[in-house]
Structure 1
Amino acid sequence: MEYSFYDFLKLLGSLALFLYGMKIMSEGLQKFAGDRLRKILTAMTTNRVTGVLTGVLITALIQSSSATTVMVVSFVNAGLLTLSQSIGVIMGANIGTTVTAWIISALGFKVDIAAMALPLLAVGVPLLFSGKSNRKSIGEFIFGFSFLFMGLSLLKTNAPDLSRNPEMLSFVQNYTDMGSGSVILFVVIGTVLTMIVQASAATMAITLIMCANGWISFELGAALVLGENIGTTITANLAALTANTQARRAALAHLVFNVFGVIWVLCLFKPVTMGVSWFVEDIMRTADPAVAVSFKLSAFHTTFNICNVLILIWFVKLIEKTVCKIIPQREQDEEYRLRFITGGMLSTAELSILQARKEINLFAERTHRMFGMVRDLLHTTNDNDFNKLFSRIEKYENISDNMEVEIANYLNQVSDGRLSSESKLQIRAMLREVTEIESIGDSCYNLARTINRKHRSIWILLRNSMIIFIRCSS
């Protein structure tokens, strides 16, 4: 076998460059359009159709369905989107992510975009070192775009040639000639691979290269694409593990939606793949089989997601009811738990400020509730009720101390990212707010302790008076 371990490492390095390019390209776009994305998400989700269009637009812009769905889950967690609205946006994100496959097919296989990568990097360098935040973000996007296609070009170059590796060819053929079994196997492989890589665009690029090099047929490539659509839902579900109930339901809705789509396509697998293949061949009429198969896979990916949305958009309420049954509402208690800050669920610092703002509002509400308890303590005469209320105030004081530390730590982490001057001012103001709210909580607790001492003194005085009265009476 001519393919050595060193060649395999070069292949992994090419994939790493592709993933890094995808990451910084997406982050650059998110930083450039952070506030705009927030406004689009909250303003354009009034009904299921506009929600789908919003998901398509945002995912096409930032080139990452995972980033969109994680963002949506975070917005549900922060109470800015309802579960029903989030399902529509997630449906749109599935369509928007297919744009990446078309870009890779059009530029990665028809045009030698890697040859333009170095000149693009030269353009991006001055922008990257610019003092203006927006220019830096554009520079990051250019660098990411260049690295992405350099990685894709290196992936194609370093992929093993099966014609020169008969052992590898024999190994692959063992798993490609099992009929329906092969299709199911490749769906599972696509799912697992995307779960590991955490980027459906990367596994899509790998699938395109495998088909273009003749490793696998178009049908098995389509099966990998189906698996990738399941695997990509894992990112949002992992992000939602520590979120509130509604956010976990939104992430689960994404999984339910994609799994249902894969099931019905598998039932009609032959007609769907034959229809897509015939359509692309009739339209494209290209002599290059690598280009033809890449466009077939892109068309299959788009057809699958559009058809799935057209079918399930009418069943949003049913999906909502299903996920609500699977994840029932948890009873709210007074245990210490941050509700909106969940370990930096949003992928950019600008958007993460929103989570901190919602958490500070919750902190203020808890402190206001604590003040109400102190007021009630003044008018409580029953000793048992008094002790319960005072214990509750003590518990709230501990919660207040913990919330101050956690929110301040989170804001400090956010401030480490690259922020606009307005966002930096916001963070400083928010840190002051947190300190002041915690100070109010301390004052409430000190008042409660004073009332408790007075209460104890009164009871001691009454008890002593009663003892003296009884003795005098006898």
Structure 2
Amino acid sequence: MVNTIFFIALGIAIFLLGLLFLTSSLKIISKHKVKTLIEKYTGNIYLSIFIGFILAIMMQSSSMITIVAVSMADAGLLNLYSAAGIIMGANIGTTIAVQLYAFDLYSAVPYLIFLGSILRFQKQKTFKFIGNILLGFGIIFAGLKIIDIAVSPLRNFSAIKNFVTMTENPFYGIATGIVMALIMQSSTFCIAMLQVLANVKIMPVYNAIYIVYGLNIGTCSEALLISIATNKEGKKIAIFNVLFNLIGTIVFLPLTHYYYKFLKFITPGNVSLQISNSHMFFNIASTLLVLPIMKYLFYFIEIMFENGSK
């Protein structure tokens, strides 16, 4: 058991190191430039969604983009309407990276790390950039493989079986996702862990879907906490982020059985892809659900703050 815990911890550490390499190379734009982009392209809601999507891919963090939006609102540079599209696009953008983790690329790890290491130490910025990305992905997949091997024996522990069975209950599944997001503050890492657990037949995809709902809600926590120290507009943006994910969860919850069947139908035999797709389609569908009712949602948030100030 001690060896299992050690190697799981080692795999997690290696995964996070790879994620650090990847995100440091993808963060090719500064926070100042992010603010400039948000200011410039938030007039049109659909363009705002696209900008949020691109920024999330580049920064690998929807939480960071939401925090930037909240801080800009506090400075009087952004309002709720302008930020809404950015937030929805960012939620979709963070689902892209985990799609790659669903494929068996472990055999490519030595080549990714070797080539990435060489390119990383080149003087030319383009080579450095490509090297960091290759090295990041190589280290991430190495970490996932270590976790994959280490967690296999856990299938035999009754406590693990009981916990997994418990997550079949929507309440416990969603609560698990929220707690995971609060602890790790990274939906990317949490989804990758669910993929590993599904691959070794510990976590059923059906249970993982409930956890994915919780992850989306839990990742709102950082922006929500920061908004406490901001003005009303900053708080409204943070509340919108929570409501956006809550609406998606409320709509999807009674349809989970059919959603699971849909995921199995489009990606049969690949449990990792089913989990990453559950995350991606959830955020896309949530955006499509919220778009037609945005003005009512804004009105509801305004009423919340009017009543709260009385």
**Does the TM-score normalized on the shorter chain lie above 0.5?**
yes
- Alignment match, 2:286: 308
Task: Answer yes or no: is 1:319 the counterpart of 2:297.
Answer: yes
- Alignment match, 1:274: 261
- Alignment match, 1:188: 175
- Alignment match, 1:122: 117
What TM-score results when the alignment is normalised by the length of structure 2? 0.88
* 8 Å Cα contact 1:237/1:251 also seen in 2: yes
* 8 Å Cα contact 1:230/1:255 also seen in 2: yes
Task: Answer yes or no: is 1:173 the counterpart of 2:164.
Answer: no
Deviation of the 1:133 alpha carbon: 7.7
Which residue among 11, 23, 28 is the counterpart of 2:25?
28
Change beyond 3 A, Cα 1:133–1:39:
farther
Which residue among 211, 214, 227 is the counterpart of 2:214?
227
Change beyond 3 A, Cα 1:145–1:177:
closer
Change beyond 3 A, Cα 1:154–1:62:
same
Which stretches in structure 2 are left out of the alignment for 5+ residues?
Answer: none
Task: Answer yes or no: is 1:40 the counterpart of 2:28.
Answer: no
Identity %: 24
Which residue among 135, 142, 157 is the counterpart of 1:150?
142
Which residue among 249, 253, 264 is the counterpart of 1:262?
249
**Separation in 1, partners of 2:171, 2:67:** 28
- Alignment match, 1:335: none
* 8 Å Cα contact 1:114/1:153 also seen in 2: no
What TM-score results when the alignment is normalised by the length of structure 1? 0.60
Which residue among 69, 77, 81 is the counterpart of 2:78?
81
* 8 Å Cα contact 1:120/1:146 also seen in 2: no
Change beyond 3 A, Cα 1:162–1:12:
closer
**Separation in 1, partners of 2:255, 2:290:** 17
**Separation in 2, partners of 1:302, 1:28:** 23
**Separation in 1, partners of 2:254, 2:174:** 13
**Separation in 1, partners of 2:70, 2:52:** 13
What amino acid is the match of 1:305? N
Residues 402-459 of structure 1: CA distance to partner in whole angstroms, max 9, x if unpaired? Answer: xxxxxxxxxxxxxxxxxxxxxxxxxxxxxxxxxxxxxxxxxxxxxxxxxxxxxxxxxx
Task: Answer yes or no: is 1:96 the counterpart of 2:88.
Answer: no
| Stretch moving more, 28-37 or 316-325 | 28-37
Which residue among 2, 6, 9 is the counterpart of 2:3?
6
How many pairs were matched up?
309
Deviation of the 1:134 alpha carbon: 7.8
**Separation in 1, partners of 2:165, 2:133:** 42
Bigger Rg, structure 1 or 2 = 1
Task: Answer yes or no: is 1:250 the counterpart of 2:237.
Answer: yes
Residues 297-338 of structure 1: CA distance to partner in whole angstroms, max 9, x if unpaired? Answer: 12222221111111101222222233333345999xxxxxxx
What amino acid is the match of 1:202? F
For residue 263 of structure 1, give the secondary structure of its aligned residue in structure 2.
helix
- Alignment match, 2:62: 65
- Alignment match, 1:284: none
**Separation in 1, partners of 2:48, 2:150:** 41
Deviation of the 1:139 alpha carbon: 5.7
| Stretch moving more, 34-43 or 185-194 | 34-43
**Separation in 2, partners of 1:238, 1:174:** 33
Choose between structure 1 and 2 for higher RCO, CA contacts under 8 A separated by at least 6 residues.
2
Deviation of the 1:295 alpha carbon: 1.2
Change beyond 3 A, Cα 1:328–1:148:
farther
**Separation in 2, partners of 1:71, 1:37:** 8
Deviation of the 1:238 alpha carbon: 2.4
**Separation in 1, partners of 2:203, 2:80:** 40
Residues 345-403 of structure 1: CA distance to partner in whole angstroms, max 9, x if unpaired? Answer: xxxxxxxxxxxxxxxxxxxxxxxxxxxxxxxxxxxxxxxxxxxxxxxxxxxxxxxxxxx
For residue 98 of structure 1, give the secondary structure of its aligned residue in structure 2.
coil
Residues 78-111 of structure 1: CA distance to partner in whole angstroms, max 9, x if unpaired? Answer: 33322111111111111111102212113xx345
Tell me the C-alpha RMSD between the 2 structures: 2.7
- Alignment match, 1:112: 107
